[in-house]
Amino acid sequence: MRAGSLAPTSLTAHEVEEVRRRLGREPTEVELAIFEATWSEHCSYKSSKHLLALLPTSGRRVVVGPGYDAGVVDVGEGYVVSIHIESHNHPSAIDPYGGAATGVGGVVRDILSVGTRPIALLNSLRFGKLENAHSKWLFSNVVRGIADYGNCIGVPTVAGEVEFDESFERNCLVDVVCIGVGRREELILAEAREPGSIILVVGNYTGRDGIRGASFASRPLDGEDDRSAVQIPDPFLEKLLIDATLEAVERRLLLAVKDLGGGGLATALAEIACKGGAGIDADLSKVHLRESDMQPTEVLLSESQERMIFVVRTEVLKQVTDILEKYEVPFSIIGVVTSDRILRFRWYGKIVAEVPVWAAVEAPIQERVVQTVHQFSRANTTLRPSTPDLHEAFFKVLSSPNVASKRYVFEQYDHEVGVRTVVKPGDGDSAVLKLPNGRFLSVKVDGDPQKCHLDPYMGAMNVASEACRNIVCTGAEPIAAVDHLQFGNPDDEDVFWSFYQTIRGLTDYFSTIGVPIVGGKVSFYNEDSTTRRAIKPTPVIAAIGLAPTHDSVTTMSLKTEGDALLVIGETSAELGGSEYYRVVHGIEQGQVPFVDPRLDLRIFGAVLTLARVGALKAAHDCSRGGFGATLAEMCVSGSLGTTIDLSSLPRVGELRLDELLFSEGRTRIVVEVPKKQIGFAASVFERYRVPYGLIGTVGGRTLRILYDDRTIIEAGLDELENAFEKPIPNMMGG
């Protein structure tokens, strides 16, 4: 892009008129650029704000809720944990390596923006079918991009999920979650409160990369000129920025920190001024630039990576700049905080924009009306395709890339750095980290577009339930969550209706179980660039939980020969959106499993009771792939076999064998309990009024699944391990 050749504004004619009305005059070019950034869907949530307000966001532990760069919860003993989720879907679709890497960088800076130390990364990735060459290219480069960035900055990538589905072939989804930890009294908020304090731009040189990234994210991909909207990653500078910021935070030198993300300086400065009830007077010509001939609008809208805003008192400015010089982090002093609540930008001293802060920040809400979609038949079909050869189907499901081991991915991530990772990738349903207060933090991210596509309300409940279930399976109690809602074009009635149903589902689930949503993002316009087909609705939930001591922490691997296996929860014939339907029958229809959040609460209570007294030797939830896959994973992980009887599974109605083996509903957890504790476990389950069954015994070198005396599946550990571990490496050529 050449200097001064910015594309015409992406504001609508109606919005430009609104700008005129608010200013009472014709806006300057720079002013229009501010509004374009702050009013973009990406920054303003103008289509979704009124619905997002439904989500439950408060709770005893919540210190900072939605609206800041990261949510913050109290974890006791003076410590807090921060969490944030970001996606880089559009950039990753175009430049998978750089797009994914810069996604990591951005979310890490969000964690720094509340004054906390980033301690873990998670990611949730979705691509087209892995057989497809384009998907392979996206997949390998996204993983490499995340690995190279996360490994270099020394933040471990500890958990995640990967899914392959046709609807993501041209619009892959790359969600990244970052977790931070800090002292409660050292928290800082991105608010410019004190007039006279100094504003610095810290970090990378501002260049033309990523200009208009926020508006790019707020429309569908169209190919040609999209590449200039993708930013260039520099993890080395990010590492120096992290070290410098944390040193300044520890020495209490910063009043406010803010990541320069979507919408660049325009959005970041408007937001800190708004939150602090102040104004800002900054000279854009003072920003350190990568290219000297940049125009003020370009400086304002650039989304060059690895940049932050620092707000500091004049008295400590020297100490802050000394730290930045020590770490060789470039910076420039661009202006001051004022009391007049006006954003005033200059260019070599001359005023080029003067906008009341409220006018820039409060985008006109587009209150879309949710249409009732009558014809939503995908979920309601009562299908019962004929039963296939079960042995063959079992292996087909287990080796589907959606179920098979993701070792290919997580071995490329440094998941150990920081020396906190107690439960590592592949070992448990979620990762568990040791916190400085002696507690243990369980973290996981989940999505399930298959089910959300069939029934967005119940699908969202399934996603929420699975994320919390995964936390519980490691012996931790869910304490907070963040959401990322990814949809197609909101102008499409079907898409917007799904969005509304998703929010209803999440609200109903999380308010019932009493877990607050402390942050989130919305990403619209995710659709195939050629077919214009929207992606399947993809709400992604990242949940965190706490375990009080290490004794409570549990993994999925079978532990001891002779222990009992029990299953908690009922199996149902609701196979809609299951891996079995997808890979064995090629069906994208059917009933989505019913979720009862009240029952979930009781199941969680029962499992955590076992964990607290040390009776929970292993736990694994039945989700993708169903009961059979759950058992196979427990066997492979523990290098131990088991014999179980399907006839002991509690169930809803009459079920066929394939339904018992492959159903992904409803909330069910398989637990390993020492033989002498069976009676105790049973009394706990009865007290909590949860259905359960004693299904078998741990031992041997084979997984044997019986129905009464009939053998349904019999497979040796090596055979299971091959089927589970080999598919992805084989498809990726070793």
Partner 1 sequence: MRVLVVKFPGTNCDYDVIEALRKVPATYPELMWYRDAEPRGYDVVVLPGGFSYADRLRAGAIAAKSPLVERLQDYVEGGGLVLGICNGFQILVEAGLLPGSFLVNDSLRFICKWVNLRVENALTPFTCLFSEGQVIKMPIAHKEGHFYAGELSTDLVRSKRAVLRYSTRNGSITNIANPNGSDYSIAALIDTTGRVLGIMPHPERAVDPLLSQDGSVDGLLLFLSIKAWLGG
Interface contacts to partner 1, rule CB under 8 A: 144, 147-148, 151-154, 235-236, 239-240, 326-328, 410-422, 427, 434, 550, 734
Number of helices (H) and strands (E) in the chain: give both, helices first.
25, 26
| Nearer to partner 1 among residue 427 and residue 714 (C-beta) | 427
The structure tokens listed for 471 are: 């936390």
CA distances from 567 to 42, 232, 313, 685 (A): 43, 49, 59, 10
Smallest separation (angstroms) from partner 1 to the CB of 77: 18
Query: What is the CB neighbour count within 10 angstroms for residue 535?
Result: 26
- Tell me phi and psi for residue 52, to 5 degrees: -60, -25
Smallest separation (angstroms) from partner 1 to the CB of 155: 8
SS3 302: coil
- Tell me phi and psi for residue 398, to 5 degrees: -65, -35
d(CA 299, CA 372): 44
| Nearer to partner 1 among residue 410 and residue 510 (C-beta) | 410
Angle CA(158)–CA(420)–CA(163) in degrees, nearest 5? 10
| Nearer to partner 1 among residue 28 and residue 552 (C-beta) | 552
- Residue pair 89/523 in contact (Cβ under 8 Å)? The answer is yes
| Nearer to partner 1 among residue 349 and residue 734 (C-beta) | 734
| Nearer to partner 1 among residue 205 and residue 413 (C-beta) | 413
Indicate the Cα dihedral angle 62, 53, 48, 163, nearest 10°. 50
Smallest separation (angstroms) from partner 1 to the CB of 204: 13
SS3 203: strand
Smallest separation (angstroms) from partner 1 to the CB of 140: 9
Helix runs in 406-476, H state only:
407-410, 449-454, 456-472
d(CA 721, CA 356): 63
The yes-or-no answer on residue 88 being catalytic is: yes
Q: How far is CA 607 from the centre of its chain?
A: 25
Smallest separation (angstroms) from partner 1 to the CB of 413: 6
| Nearer to partner 1 among residue 286 and residue 439 (C-beta) | 439
Alpha carbon distance, N-terminus to C-terminus of the chain: 40
| Nearer to partner 1 among residue 185 and residue 328 (C-beta) | 328
Smallest separation (angstroms) from partner 1 to the CB of 550: 6
Smallest separation (angstroms) from partner 1 to the CB of 469: 24
- Residue pair 298/37 in contact (Cβ under 8 Å)? The answer is no
| Nearer to partner 1 among residue 23 and residue 246 (C-beta) | 246
Smallest separation (angstroms) from partner 1 to the CB of 239: 6
Active-site residue identified among 84, 88, 90, 415: 88
SS3 335: strand
d(CA 357, CA 354): 9
| Nearer to partner 1 among residue 139 and residue 524 (C-beta) | 139
- Tell me phi and psi for residue 650, to 5 degrees: -65, 140
d(CA 555, CA 546): 15
| Nearer to partner 1 among residue 424 and residue 582 (C-beta) | 424
d(CA 224, CA 442): 42
Smallest separation (angstroms) from partner 1 to the CB of 153: 7
Q: What would you measure as the largest C-alpha separation in the chain, in angstroms?
A: 87
Alpha-carbon Rg for the chain in angstroms: 26
Q: Which amino acid is at 294?
A: M
Interstrand relation of 702-707 and 642-645 (parallel, antiparallel or unpaired): parallel
Smallest separation (angstroms) from partner 1 to the CB of 716: 20
- Residue pair 117/161 in contact (Cβ under 8 Å)? The answer is no
Beta strands in 405-558 (DSSP E): 421-423, 431-434, 440-447, 477-486, 517-523, 538-547
The single residue listed with the structure tokens 């439904």 is 54
Could you list the active site residues?
Answer: 42, 88
